[in-house]
Amino acid sequence: MKLAADLHIHSTLSPCASLEMSPTAIVRRARELSLDVIAVTDHNSVENGFTAAKLAEASGLKVLFGMEAQTREDVHVLCLFEERGQAERFHGRIDALLPDVRNDPDFFGDQVVVDERENIVRHEEKLLLNALDLSIPGLLELAREHGGVCIPAHVEAPPFGLLVNLGMVPAELEGAVMEISCSSRREQVLKAFPCLERHPLISSSDAHYLEDIGRARLVVESSSPSLADLHAALRAGEFRVTYERAHG
Ligand SMILES: [Zn+2]
Ligand SMILES: [Zn+2]
């Protein structure tokens, strides 16, 4: 089956995202755009994704549990999970590795956990936009232990791209699916980083505002919307990226 996916969306829990990005609004917008699969990927947290998944139940939309983790090397990596329990346990481990630094909402923005009715459940007080006490290999291992899939995010883009901060692909990620920023052109990225020729290169929206959801979408030829099948299809190159607006 052909599935339309956007695997990189921020919510009100990311200090840098708009407060319009409630799980309710994200799910509504994803349905309007006829997306089949989304992932809510806040910085170092899965929490609002749980609400989004609950809201999407019984609709045609599949919500994968996700997080955009920030490793010790200041590299952003999307971590995706099929099951709530896997994501919950992973989230618990990640939270213990996040430095105990308070968020300053006036400087970084609010970090808001929201329920299905768009009520504020709580403000996350720990600053989520921070590096974990965890290396890239450590994160890959931790995600794998919890049944997750890791996709390095916007690898060519400063300030948090893998190739910008590391200058190379570590052995553990040889051949892995990588995300390039949806505002970059694939050919130019390959020219700058020829080592990416050996990797399937996806793009998602990295939306921080509702209007950005789906601005890049993956059209994946997958046997089911499960994370395992989607990831297998991405690894096999069974996808294309389409852009909502004129590109580049
Ligand atoms: Zn990022
Ligand atoms: Zn992001």
For residue 94, the CA-to-ligand 1 centroid distance in Å is 16
| Strand-pair category, 2-9 with 178-179 | unpaired
Q: 55-111, pLDDT tens digit by residue?
A: 999 898 999 999 999 999 999 999 999 999 999 999 999 999 999 999 999 999 999
For residue 23, the CA-to-ligand 1 centroid distance in Å is 19
Buried b (16+ CB within 10 A) or exposed e, 177-214: bbbbbbebeeeebbeebeebeebbbbbbbbbbebebbb
Please report, for the domain that includes residue 127, its CATH number. 3.20.20.140
The bound ligand whose nearest atom lies closest to the alpha carbon of 205 is 2
8 A C-beta contact, residue 30 and residue 224: no
For residue 26, the CA-to-ligand 2 centroid distance in Å is 15
Q: Which helix (H) or strand (E) holds 36?
A: none
pLDDT tier at 247, thresholds 50, 70, 90: low
For residue 221, the CA-to-ligand 2 centroid distance in Å is 24
pLDDT of residue 248: 44
- What pTM was computed for the model? 0.96
Average pLDDT in the chain: 96
Please tell me the total count of domains within the chain.
Answer: 1
Q: Which helix (H) or strand (E) holds 217?
A: strand 216-221
Let me know if residue 178 belongs to a domain: no
Percent of the chain with pLDDT over 90: 96
Let me know if residue 175 belongs to a domain: no
10, pLDDT greater than 50: yes
245, pLDDT greater than 80: no
Let me know if residue 106 belongs to a domain: yes
- Residue 226, domain extent: 2-70+77-151+208-243
Let me know if residue 167 belongs to a domain: no
8 A C-beta contact, residue 36 and residue 225: yes
For residue 34, the CA-to-ligand 1 centroid distance in Å is 25
pLDDT of residue 58: 84
User: Which residues touch 149 (CB under 8 Å, ≥6 apart)?
Assistant: 79, 80, 81, 143, 227, 231
The bound ligand whose nearest atom lies closest to the alpha carbon of 160 is 1
The bound ligand whose nearest atom lies closest to the alpha carbon of 207 is 2
Q: 166-196, pLDDT tens digit by residue?
A: 999 999 999 999 999 999 999 999 999 999 9
Let me know if residue 83 belongs to a domain: yes
| pLDDT mean over 130-146 | 98
For residue 58, the CA-to-ligand 1 centroid distance in Å is 30
For residue 148, the CA-to-ligand 1 centroid distance in Å is 18
